[in-house]
Structure formats: C-alpha cells, structure tokens
Amino acid sequence: MAVNKHAVISGSIMIAGLLSLSPASAEELDKLVFGTNWYAQAEHGGFYQALATGLYEDYGLDVEIRMGGPQINGTQLLVSGRYDLLMGYPIGNVNAVEKGLPVMTVAASMQGDPQALIAHPHVESIEQIREEGLPVYIATFAHSTFWPWLKAEYGFEDDVVHAYTFSVAPFLNNKDIVQQGYLSSEPFAMRKGGVEPNVFLLSDHGYPPYATTIETTTDMIEERPDVVKRFVQASMEGWKSYLENPEPGNELIMKENPEMTPEQIAYGIEKMKEYELVTGGDAGTMGIGVMTEERWQKSGTSW
C-alpha cells in the first residue's frame, strides 16, 4: 500500500522537539549502535565529539559509532536491528516508508544540505551552467535527490548528465566540466589540485532538505523512547561543543579514518561555520537539531 508523503513527513517530526532534557543518571548505561553514512569526517563531528567528551555517558548511554561507506546499506542495517540509529537523509526516509519500512527521522544535525554544484572560475551562476549546456557530472544517488529539483527549478535536461565517479581528476583537466560535490570535500581537493572553483551550495539556492539526520525505527521509538531522546540531546550538545572546541572529536575522527587530515577537517569545520549549516535557519532560534513541518512539506515536493 502506498504511503502518502505528507503522512510520512508529519510522522517524521514526532519527537524532534524533545531537545530540553537533562542528563540521565543510570546505574547501567544503555547500549546503542549508531551507523554513519560515510567515513568519519568533520560533517560527523558532533557525534564523535559527544563520544570523545563523554556526553553520551553523561546521558546514560554506551554508544558505538560504526562508519558507513560505499558498500554499506545503512537502512537495511537499521531495520534488521544491527543499528539502533542511523545517520540519514530525508529522501531516504521517505522512500523507506513508502516501501513499508518502519523508519522515522527524529532530528536534523544540519539545517542545510552541504551538496553543491562546482564549476570553474569563469562560470558565475547555476543559470549559466544550464544556459551553456555544460556537462554536469553527478552520482547515481543524485537522480533521486537534487537532480529532479534542479530540473524543476532551473530547467536542466538529462542530456547534459555524465556519471561522477568520485574523482576530481576530470574536473581538473577540463575547464568546461561541472560536477556535484560536498561543500568541504571536492572543493578542498580541487584547490589542492590548483583550481579555485566556484561553489554553488544548493541549499543557498532553495534546495530544501535537511542533512545529517538521525533516523531510527518505530519499534525503538515505541519501546525505548527515553533512550532515543537522550541520544538526540547528547548528540546536539556534541555539535555545540564541536563547533566551539573540536579537538576531542577530531582526534577520534582521525583515529577512525586515518586518511582524514587535520587540514581537511579544519577546512570542513570552517565551511560548516561559514554557511551556518548546523546553527543557521530554525536552529538559530529553536536549537540545534530542530525540524519543522513546513520544511518537510517543502522537501517532500522537491523530489
């Protein structure tokens, strides 16, 4: 049976406002496994900070963070019970529920998606990319996330699309290529390669979804609601702490992902602060992690 997107969206914010809890006292810590969506990086910093500084323990939690990666299906691991909570993305949640999976989003670490279109310096706008018919390199997942939005909002056609293989080498070798990228990842690599790119952050151009969300199952919400609430609160405090003094979280990130350098982490933090990805939008007045019905409704009509 098909699930109405608006019903999914309404349900997804059921406990998102529960960010005013106090640390829990418990004789035994509640064990949780949290799966991320990629290798450890600055965009995951709040969670690693909460673990490194003992915030999870302060809230009575024994949390294990498991890194994601290209071959890991986090939603499957969540619904099978191998993860208790998952770092997700709104369209993934909506699609999962429409397939009948008992998944819900309970908080959003980032008010804006770090996804961007990246071009060479002579390209000055998204409109120019479309008008000149420049080739756009995007990954498979983009076809169900931001590409339909770009087609609807800017009039892009599918004939400009090329497959992005997560290498910036083609971009560095061809000044007419445009590609997708993460705000703190590909631009960093391009600058290291000698190109100062123009970065068009999609959320600054109206792309509505949240990012770095926290998902869990309906069973977790029904059977262990207090544990879910404590995880959300500790994680959001972790984000606040990370943006103030990231050293503890950074040490843990680099331990988990040795390929991550201090320079790249610092660049990621700089960009998160510059674009207020964590603290901007509704988070500025309602607190880090907040989600609203209005935002979910906008997101639901963008795919």
Same-domain status, 87 and 22: yes
Shared-domain flag, residues 21 and 137: no
Among 171, 189, 205, give the residue marking a domain's end: 205
Looking at the fold, whether 148 and 244 belong to one and the same domain comes out as no
Which of 148, 174, 205 marks a domain boundary?
205
Q: Return d(Cα 227, Cα 119) in angstroms, integer.
A: 44
pLDDT tens digits, one per residue of 36-82: 999 999 999 999 999 999 999 999 999 999 999 988 999 999 999 99
∠ CA 183-184-187, nearest 5°, is 75
Residues 9 and 98 in one domain: yes
Q: Are residues 103 and 126 in the same domain?
A: no
Q: Is 53 in the same domain as 157?
A: no
Task: With CA atoms as reference, report the closest residue to 76 among 115, 105, 102.
Answer: 102
* pLDDT given for residue 12 in this prediction: 52
Same domain for 9 and 108, yes or no, is yes
End-to-end CA distance of the chain: 20
Confidence of residue 22 (pLDDT cuts 50, 70, 90): low
Spell out a b/e string for 131-163, using b for 16 or more CB atoms within 10 Å of the CB, else e.
eeebebbbeeebeebbbebbeebbebeeebeee
Q: How far apart are CA 64 and CA 61, in angstroms?
A: 10
Is the same domain home to 104 and 153? no
82 with 24, same domain: the answer is yes
pTM (predicted TM-score): 0.90
DSSP symbol at 104: E
Whole-Å CA distances, 220 to 32, 75, 107, 121, 213:
11, 14, 14, 48, 16
CATH number at residue 119: 3.40.190.120
Q: Provide the token pair at 99.
A: 């397939």
Q: Where does residue 233 rank: exposed (0-12), middle (13-18), buried (19+ CB within 10 A)? A: buried
CA 80 to CA 75: how far, in whole Å? 8
Tell me which residue has tokens 């843990």: 252
Q: What is the CATH number of the domain that holds 23?
A: 3.40.190.10
The proportion of the chain whose per-residue pLDDT surpasses 90, expressed as a percent, equals 86
Find tokens 């035994």 and name the residue: 28
Q: Are residues 121 and 265 in the same domain?
A: no
The conformational region for residue 209 under phi > 0 = left, psi -120 to 50 = alpha, else beta, is beta
Single residue among 205, 226, 257 that ends a domain in this structure: 205
Reported as type and span, the H/E element at residue 107 is strand 103-110
Count of domains forming the chain: 2
Hey, what are 178's tokens?
Answer: 């445009």
Question: Is 80 exceeded by the pLDDT of residue 17?
Answer: no
Examine the domain organization and report whether 153 and 296 are in the same domain.
Answer: no
Residue-wise pLDDT for 237-267, tens only, equals 999 999 999 999 999 999 999 999 999 999 9
What tokens does 25 get?
A: 């006292």
Place of tokens 């770095």: 212
Residues 14 and 147 in one domain: no
- Quickly count: other Cβ atoms within 10 Å of residue 69's Cβ: 11
Domain with 250 in it: 5-112+208-300
